[in-house]
Amino acid sequence: MTFRLLFKEEAKKEWDHLDASVRNLFVKKLTKYIEQPCIESMRLNGMKACYKIKLRRIGYRLVYQVRDGALVISSVVIGKRERNHAYKAAIRKI
């Protein structure tokens, strides 16, 4: 099953402000996961049906939810995993 890709309004603004090269890296990853987005190793603890995509080298995180046949981009966060900064920011946006 192929999932639809949707953006929350705030996440769309974050997406539009990303450099094109960063967006392209996320597009490659999203293309890979659009068929099967519920990968257990990418699941976020304490957040229902939420998953992450990491671009480790440049410190970007993308958080998405899987709802009703759609992969909903909730947040594009710049930040390292230290103290879960990026994921705490994502929780506030969901």
Task: Identify the helix (H) or strand (E) that includes residue 17.
Answer: helix 9-17
Q: 71: closest CA among 45, 39, 93?
A: 39
Is residue 61 flagged as an active site residue?
A: no
Catalytic annotation, pick one of 43, 52, 54, 92: 52
Q: Of the listed 13, 80, 81, 88, which one is catalytic? A: 81
Please give the Cα distance from 80 to 59 (Å, whole number): 5
52: annotated active-site residue: yes
User: Which residue numbers are catalytic?
Assistant: 52, 81
